[in-house]
Amino acid sequence: MDNWKDKEVYKTIQLAIPIIMGELAQMSLHLIDTAMVGAISYKHLAAASLVMTAANIPFVIGIGMTISVSQLVSMANGRRDHQLISHYLFNGFILCTFFALVISGGLVFGRNILKHLHQDPQVVELALPFMTLVGLSIIPMLLFMTLKQFTDGLEYTKTAMMLSLLAMPINIFLNWLLIYGHWGFPRLELAGAGYATLITRTLIFIVLALIVLKHKTFRRFIAVSERQWKYNFKTIRELLRIGIPSSMQLGVEVCAFAVSGIIIGTISAVSQAAHQIALSCAAFTFMVSMGLSQAGSIRVSNAYGRSDWNKIRVIGKTTLVTALLYGSFCGIIFIIFRWQLPLIFNENPEVISLSALLLLFAAVFQISDATQATGAGLLRGIKDVKIPTILITLAYWVIGLPFGWLFAFHYHMGAAGMWLGLIIGLTLASVFLGMRFIKMVFKRLKTTA
């Protein structure tokens, strides 16, 4: 049994590594933008933080919709049904294109909401043009994510990883040209980072689309497209049944962090900048947790397609233990390097000091963050999405955020108080989701015994 478990850990990690590398590459693009913009001034850093905070809420809702593609493609792949895989790709792409256009339009035409969030006026002025460019770049990014979920669902995870890694030097070079105005280009500062992001995301989407359509690896799925590439409302509803709760799960969590950031921004620009630095570090390590979650979810979904509940149990258990160990390791790293990490982004002494404090709080919730993400992914793999969404909402919005506000303002803890509330929410979400997965699996094992 131990050898079997070791093999399952190896298979999950083998599948997860390219996903993790791709996620880290995408997160690195954000960190690079933050660091290169932060080198101008902490006001520019705060403006970038404000835009990313506001844009992330609808963006992750779109990502949640793309997740439905990988879940259903993986399940169909478990049944070896190539025609159904092709059908899910076509309808999933139509659905995600619609959401990409709606989300992008909402951000571009609704950018003036930044003026009503009680932020520093200079920060808002810097943020508005950046908001437009980030909103437009969401279209190619969500379309890229849709095709990535298709290839990941088939367990060909290296394709999107290579493109994500390739995007890094392209984005850095474009940032260098457009943020600082080298080689005769205008010095666009924060807007330059927005143009660089838009160009880079468009390029990687086009390349991945050409690979999916033309490469021999995927040709056998595309070959059946004549009959299967038809809009089907029943299929769209099937995608929505997974996509909407998945979007809500991600949205609830990201929105909690976003609201925390907006609340912290009302304290001071220094607090906002420090929050962005600590959150960027935590978000970077979280990408590994997301990779583990997606790999575990894909493997569980594949086994779910064959109704192999014993394998689901082993995959789930080993993935959760791996996430627990990883979260513990990250927490130690944050504690040791809490004074060095903020220097990557800014050199303002006040910002550095507060960032170091917030990184201690980030260290504490690394375990909960890793295990709750993994638990949510495993539950998606067995198509259990509605109850987990309610549990996550309770953890963050009924308990975590209210306590964070209480600590921040009633007990005068400031930004640290909001982070303490986030720790409470993450921990409860982790416990709720882990217990839910264990309960669901053992219930099915009893009925099939």
**pLDDT tens profile 185-230:** 878 777 788 888 889 999 999 999 999 888 877 877 776 555 667 7
SS3 state of residue 44: helix
Closest alpha carbon to 408 in 335, 358, 352: 358
Helix, strand, coil percent content, the chain, rounded in steps of 5: 90, 0, 10
The type of residue at 330 is C
Closest alpha carbon to 321 in 364, 375, 382, 377: 375
Q: Residue 202 has what pLDDT?
A: 93
Q: Residue 102 has what pLDDT?
A: 92
The parts of the chain modelled with pLDDT lower than 50 are 1
Full DSSP string of 297-344: HHHHHHHHHTT-HHHHHHHHHHHHHHHHHHHHHHHHHHHHTTTTGGGG
CA angle 296, 420, 336 (to 5 degrees): 75
User: What's this model's pTM, rounded to 2 decimal places?
Assistant: 0.77
Helices then strands, counting H and E runs in the chain, come out as: 16, 0
Nearby residues of 109 by Cβ (< 8 Å), 6 or more positions away: none
Q: Residue 329 has what pLDDT?
A: 93
d(CA 249, CA 383): 13
Q: Residue 2 has what pLDDT?
A: 55
- State both tokens at 442: 């053992």
Nearby residues of 144 by Cβ (< 8 Å), 6 or more positions away: 160, 163, 201, 204, 205, 208
For residue 279, give Cα distances in angstroms to 60, 131, 208, 211, 288: 16, 19, 30, 34, 15
Burial of 180 (0-12, 13-18, 19+ CB in 10 A): middle
Q: Residue 258 has what pLDDT?
A: 75
CA angle 24, 26, 30 (to 5 degrees): 105
Region label for 346, one of left (φ > 0), alpha (ψ between -120 and 50) or beta (otherwise): beta
Phi, psi of 385 (to 5 degrees): -125, -25
Phi, psi of 119 (to 5 degrees): -95, 170
- State both tokens at 246: 């998945």
Q: Residue 1 has what pLDDT?
A: 46
